[in-house]
Amino acid sequence: MTSGKTDIARLFRRRLLAWYRRHKRLLPWRETSDPYRIWISEIMLQQTQVDTVIPYYERFLKRFPDVFALARAPLHDVLKAWENLGYYSRARHLHAAAKTIVDQWGGRVPDTPEAIKALPGIGDYTAGAILSIAYGQAVPAVDGNVRRILSRVFAIAEPANDPQAQKHFYDLAASLVPTGSASDFNQALMDLGATVCRARHPACSVCPAASLCLANRHSWQERLPVLRRSPAVPRREAVAAVIRNAQGYLLVVQRPAAGLLASLWKLPGGFIAEGKTGTIALREALCAELDLSVRVGRRLCFVDHAYTHFRLRLFAYEARISKGSPRPRGCADWRWASPADVKKLPMSRVDRKLLEALADADG
């Protein structure tokens, strides 16, 4: 780092810490030094807005107040507590990591980079956040917000989302973290990125680093960070069968333990392959999942849903079993579910949306 940038780094660190002590957000996970609670918050905050996380965080900790309670709980209960928060692999990783922490660490969240990153679901950013906030270690926590701030303050032209540039941003962030104030500094960066140095229309007039920021000095705020263009998001279609027994219970299946939305429950069905109709795709899916032959009736409704890597349109069709009895062939389990059962089962947001649309269609 040049002497000029070293001076910027020193002043940036000092001003950011002073700003944070006056303006830090009041958040429930900032009221504790418990590594378990900080770990839960950091996992929930991955790709999820703070306002969305707060009620989930509070409910989750009432249900699982410590790592022992989480490790003992059935995965079904953990997934149900996570329902609608999205990115369900986070919940499965939390559950698996809790078991490891209890079995190998006596219930204490590990405090070394090597040990904590060996836990499921914890990468460089989450490890840095937990180690600095819970244990006060002078390590960086570098996510997209932090890379955006560093790109602007230090006028970095490397694409912030390019994997090859990650070490540069990490090393720069590591050089900034002050010994003794790592927790405040990393959380200050989080707050600055969320409230001031936003991706669009940054509030430079109230930024504590405005006079130091090279992007602000040269009016490059909207040009930085440089981002490598992502490919277009593909669109996919899927089908689901609405099958009821004599008591009016719905046939539902549990997804496999690995893959998209693993272990959650849904109506039976699957994706529509290119060149296939919805009716054919549904018949094939029911055969693959439950070894059933079905007679497909009218289309009832559809819902749209956005995932990170694709957009989905999910259609629901009436269907009746014409041959066979359900058996778990391509799914983990199945059952006839009453309305009360359906409410208790952990399901993804798109499947809940579909059930709500079905209820509206039934009038």
Q: What positions carry a catalytic annotation?
A: 42
- Cα–Cα distance, 347 to 262 (Å, whole number): 10
Q: Are 204 and 216 in contact (CB under 8 A)?
A: yes
Q: Which of 168, 182, 178, 173 is nearest to 136 (CA)?
A: 182
Long-range contacts of 108-116 (CB under 8 A, 24+ apart): 108/35, 109/35, 109/36, 109/39, 109/67, 109/134, 111/35, 111/135, 111/137, 113/139
- Cα–Cα distance, 53 to 67 (Å, whole number): 19
- Cα–Cα distance, 63 to 78 (Å, whole number): 9
Largest CA distance in the chain: 79
- Cα–Cα distance, 153 to 327 (Å, whole number): 59
- Cα–Cα distance, 269 to 282 (Å, whole number): 6
